[in-house]
Structure 1
C-alpha cells in the first residue's frame, strides 16, 4: 500500500496539461474549483428589470435576456470559465390568485372577476348573470354541454330564465402588469349551490401571446442596448 501511495505522489509531480480544442486536458485527475457565482437579484416588474439593465451597475458586459414564461424573465451572463451561465437578475410577476377548474360559490365568484380580470364586455355579461341568481337551483334543461340556463332577475321585479354566456373571452391578470393582458376563451359553467367555474379552452395559446408581448415591451425599452449588441433578447 505504501508503494502504491508513493507511486501516486510521484505521478502527481509529473502531471502535464495541454489545451486541446479549447479544453484543458491533464495526464492526471485534477481537482476543479468551480468559479463562484453571485446570488440573483429578484425584481417584480419589467420596469425594475429595465432600470437595472440601463444603469449598467455591474458593468457593460454582454447579457442575454430570456423570457422564460409569462411570469419569469431571466438576465444571464456569457459562459463562465467552467461553462456555466450566471443568473444576474430575475423578474417574477406578482399574479393575483384565481384558479381555473375550481368551483366557487356565487358570491366569491362575483368578486373574483372584478378584482383579478381586465374589464371587458364578456366579463360584464357573465357577472350580470352571477349577480342576479335568485335561487340555488341551476336549470339543466336545454343543457347541451355548452349552453345553460339559470333563474335570475330579468328586470326590476321580474324573475325568468336567462342563458349563461358561453364561451366567454376574458383577460385575467396572468403576466406583468406593464403589458397588455392576453384575452382567451373560457368555458363558463354553473351548478346547484349555486357554484360557478371557468375552464381554459385555448390550449395554452395565451402563454405564447403573453411572452411575445413581454418581448415587445423589452425590445422597445432596451432598443439602444439591443442595437449596440450589449443585450441579446430571446423568448
Structure 2
C-alpha cells in the first residue's frame, strides 16, 4: 500500500509523541518539547565533521581559494602562533562557528638551552639555522676548537675568548660575540625566518649551548610575517569581503 505524504507525517508525529516529545515552530525555528516539558531548540547538524589538516601556507591558500561551496560565507583565517594557522567560518544563526582547516608548520626540534658537544652543535647550526654572519663566526670557533683551548678560554661573564687553530701551526685568539643574532627554522618556510638574539656559551668538554635572549619577541615578528603573506595571497578575496586575516 502506498502511503501519502500526509500519512507519513502523521506517523512521524505519532512517533515523536510516543517518545514524549513534540515538534513546534516558534518564529521560524524548530523546537521540541522533551519528556520533562522543556522547550529545546533543534539545531541542524550540517557543520564540517573535521578540519582539514595541512602543513604549509601554500596548501592553506590553495584550499581556501577552491572552497567554492563557501563562496557565500565570510571566512576568517587566524594566525594562532608561528606554527599554526586556522580557518573558521563566521557565526551561524545558532552562534556556531565551523572549523574548516588547520595548517601546522613542520619545524626541526632545535636543542636550545642545552649544552651539546661541538660536533652536534656544528651540525645543528648548519642544518637548522639560516646562514648569517654570526652563525658563521660560531661555526668557525667550534670548528677549530681543541680541548685544551677551551680550558684556556677567558670569560668575563658576558663574552668569551678562546684560542683556535688558524693554520697548520698558527693559533689566534677569537672573541665570541654575545649576544649573537641568529635565524633558526621555526616557522613556515614560505616566509622569511625571523632573526632574534641568542647567548652563545661554551664550557669544558668541547660543549656549547645557545640560549634565547629576546623574551619570545620573535613570535610576534613571525606571526606578523605570516599575516602579511596571507593578506598578499588573499588580496582579491579580502577586497571582496570573503576573507578576513587576523593575527
Fold match (TM-score > 0.5): yes
Of 95, 111, 124 in structure 2, the residue corresponding to residue 83 of structure 1 is 95
Number of residues paired by the alignment? 224
Q: Aligned residue for 1:48?
A: 59
Q: Tell me how far 1:82 sits from its aligned partner.
A: 4.2
Q: Tell me how far 1:104 sits from its aligned partner.
A: 1.3
> What pairs with 1:1-235 in structure 2 (closer than 5 Å)?
28=38, 30=40, 35=45, 36-60=47-71, 61-80=73-92, 82-135=94-147, 138-139=150-151, 142-235=154-247
Q: Highest Rg: 1 or 2?
A: 2
CA offset digits 1:114-160 (Å, max 9, x no partner): 00111111100110001000225624764222111223213342234
2-structure distance, mates of 1:100, 1:70: 17
In 2, are the aligned partners of 1:139 and 1:148 still within 8 Å (CA)?
no
Give the structure-1-normalised TM-score: 0.84
Q: Could you list the runs of 5+ residues in structure 2 that have no partner in the other structure?
A: 1-16
2-structure distance, mates of 1:149, 1:85: 57
CA offset digits 1:30-79 (Å, max 9, x no partner): 38667354211111111111111111244312100000000000000122
2-structure distance, mates of 1:210, 1:50: 18
**Any idea what SS the aligned residue of 1:166 has?**
coil
CA offset digits 1:155-190 (Å, max 9, x no partner): 342234322221110000111101000010000001
Q: Tell me how far 1:101 sits from its aligned partner.
A: 0.6
In 1, are the aligned partners of 2:200 and 2:210 still within 8 Å (CA)?
yes
Deviates more, 1:137-146 or 1:88-97: 137-146
Q: Could you list the runs of 5+ residues in structure 1 that have no partner in the other structure?
A: 1-8
1-structure distance, mates of 2:202, 2:115: 9
Q: CA-atom RMSD, angstroms? A: 2.8
